[in-house]
């Protein structure tokens, strides 16, 4: 995977194993069914356990998709899906899909010049009855088993919220609310435009001096200006994040979509406080960006 944080380029590799319905990203992130777990100092922590039951809008409401033969990736033939905005003429994204299995093998987000600024791809792929990279039955069985959860921070559904929180049906360009959740004083609203997801986390409090980094990938982030307010932005291998404060509430917006989509969504959210007070990302949200 490769990505840019401002003008700086980053790259990383992670081993991915899938067997028995269990998907492992390196040694610290596991997906099993709807559940998402990360490994912490106190054992496996479950952060998510819900199926998203509300469908988002169809991607064709916002995007024009064109399919054509693609290159070989990880030794497998692909079809490439070219993504443009409806009514636009600039290519925004390319999706490379394994022609035989339908597995997404590479994804590229493109800048205004058509150059990828974030790409995630398989560099090697092995399929078979045993999990990737294993030959011993015991090792294969261990990878196919979901880890035992030691702690849970799974949120509950939140159909109604009290002030200062307020559910928003739509934000940005084509992002529709498909789920709202609450856990430990943190509210999450999850939006989709049919192709990308965008989450907004809200928590009472105030930002202070830098306490964390974004999984060690991009230091203290970078200052950006949206709607006349200075906010703190972070880029990682899996997406973008923006953090700011307004009227005693800390907001963190994260997405796998292009930066322009995130900035457009943030413009539709409260940002009334004066600039210059934004310095940290809450550790719970930062953990969503960890690969290994």
Pairing relation of β-strands 16-19 and 78-85?
unpaired
CA distances in angstroms from 136 to 14, 19, 24, 130, listed in the order given = 21, 14, 18, 9
Q: Give residue-wise pLDDT tens across range 59-71.
A: 999 999 999 999 9
pTM of the model: 0.78
Q: Give residue-wise pLDDT tens across range 169-218.
A: 999 999 999 988 888 888 999 999 999 999 999 998 887 643 333 333 44
Nearest to 1 by CA among 125, 123, 127, 99: 123
For 281, residues 6+ apart whose C-beta sits below 8 A from its C-beta are 212, 214, 221, 232, 234, 241, 243, 252
pLDDT the model gives residue 33: 81
Q: Which two tokens stand for residue 51?
A: 């199926």
Residue ranges of the chain with per-residue pLDDT less than 70: 1, 4-7, 52-54, 128-144, 208-220, 272-292
pLDDT the model gives residue 278: 37
pLDDT the model gives residue 287: 46
Each domain of the chain, given as residue ranges in start order, spans 155-289
The CATH number given to 155-289 is 3.40.1000
pLDDT the model gives residue 19: 78
DSSP 142-197: HHHSPPPEEEE-PPEE-SS--TT----SEETTTEEEEEEEEETTEEEEEEE-SS-E
């Amino acid at each position: 995977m490769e990505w840019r944080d401002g003008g700086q380029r980053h790259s990383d590799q992670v081993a991915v194993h899938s067997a028995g319905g269990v998907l492992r990203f390196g040694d610290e992130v596991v997906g099993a069914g709807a559940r998402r777990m990360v490994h912490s100092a106190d054992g496996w922590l479950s952060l998510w356990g819900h199926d998203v039951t509300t469908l988002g809008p169809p991607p064709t409401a916002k995007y024009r998709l064109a399919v054509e033969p693609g290159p070989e990736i990880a030794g497998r033939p692909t079809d490439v899906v070219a993504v443009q905005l409806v009514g636009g003429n600039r290519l925004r994204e390319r999706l490379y899909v394994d022609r035989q299995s339908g597995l997404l093998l590479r994804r590229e987000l493109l800048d205004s010049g058509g150059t990828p600024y974030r790409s995630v791809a398989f560099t090697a792929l092995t399929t078979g009855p045993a999990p990737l990279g294993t030959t011993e039955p015991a090792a294969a069985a261990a990878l196919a088993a979901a880890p035992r959860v030691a702690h849970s921070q799974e949120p509950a559904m939140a159909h109604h919220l009290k002030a200062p929180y307020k559910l928003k049906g739509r934000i940005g360009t084509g992002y529709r609310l498909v789920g709202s959740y609450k856990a430990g004083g943190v509210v999450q609203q999850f939006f989709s435009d049919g192709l990308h997801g965008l989450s907004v986390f809200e928590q009472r409090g105030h930002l202070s001096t830098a306490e964390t980094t974004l999984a060690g990938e991009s230091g203290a982030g970078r200052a950006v200006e949206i709607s006349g307010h200075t906010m703190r932005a972070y880029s990682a291998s899996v997406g973008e994040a923006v953090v700011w404060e307004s009227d005693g509430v800390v907001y963190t917006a994260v997405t796998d979509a292009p930066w322009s989509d995130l900035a457009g969504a943030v413009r539709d959210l409260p940002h009334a406080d004066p600039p210059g007070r934004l310095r940290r990302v809450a550790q719970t949200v930062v953990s969503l960006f960890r690969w290994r």
